[in-house]
A and B are shown apart, each in its own frame.
Chain A
Amino acid sequence: MYLMSNLEIETTRFGKVTVDGDRVLDFPSGLLGFAHATRWVLLQPDEEGCFYWFQSCDQEDLAFVVTDPQYWVPDFEAIIRREQLEELGANQIEDAQVFVIVNRYQDTLTANLQGPLVVGTASRRGMQLVLAEKRWTTRHVIVELEAASAARTA
């Protein structure tokens, strides 16, 4: 019997992090430009936040901020082929979850909607998709930071 144990991950940003072994996400092909980084964990900074850290288990200083695109872009759709879905151990679209990588450009936070991350919920296996549709860009603005800070000081 295979026993899932806790896994200790060294990270540059958070120090040593302990996660359940079954929370590790396996990306067999890595991410675009990061083919070597195949094991990841999602770290949730706080209960209510909608941003997560997507931390590499293979490279301690490699982490992305990710978010659920549904929260920001309700009509966002990622097209996935049936074979890709099967690679993720998913039979139907409901068995997969989508995240997008967040970036910052000046006073905006942007989401890479053209290269979403898709994870099979049961298999915990994932991949980065490359969407052909031009409607979704790599820098879709989701937050205006200036507006956010103005509201805070008001």
Chain B
Amino acid sequence: MLVLSRHRDETIMLGDDIEVTVVDIRGDKVRLGIRAPEAVTVHRKEIWEAIRQENERAASSETIPQFAGEQSPQLRIAPAGVSKRKA
């Protein structure tokens, strides 16, 4: 990992068109300003990671077949071949 020191109001460039500026520093909290093209998505990593993990879990074979076999009134999964045996 590249580590850079920056003061308040200083910026780093990522490639040609992404700017990350240190806007404010207070104690252990740093506020960053990010300027990036619209096509670039910027997320807090912990949120991104939580969603990724939730996707993984929802797709895992342990979760879904059980769930499909459940006879909840709202969960009448009709297609053949859906059963706990598939787990």
Residues of A whose CB lies within 8 Å of any CB of B are 12-15, 17, 31-34, 43, 45-46, 49-51, 53, 61-65, 81, 83, 101-104, 109, 112, 114-115, 128, 130-132, 138-139, 143, 145, 148-149, 151-152
A64-B58, A101-B58, A112-B58 as given contacts; A132 in contact with B43, CB under 8 Å: yes
| Residues of A close to B86: CB separation below 8 A | 12-13
| Residue contact B44 to A45, C-beta cutoff 8 Å | no
| Interface contact B55-A33, CB-CB below 8 Å | yes
Question: Is the beta-carbon distance between B47 and A62 smaller than 8 angstroms?
Answer: no
Which residues of B (48-68) have their CB < 8 Å from a CB of A? 48, 50-59, 61, 63-68
- The answer on a CB contact under 8 Å between B71 and A130 is no
CB–CB A45/B79 < 8 A = yes
In the bound assembly, the distance between CA atoms of A29 and B18 in angstroms comes to 20
* Cross-chain pairs A/B with CB under 8 angstroms, 14 sampled: A14-B82, A15-B81, A17-B79, A33-B52, A45-B78, A49-B76, A50-B74, A61-B61, A62-B59, A83-B39, A109-B72, A114-B50, A128-B55, A152-B71
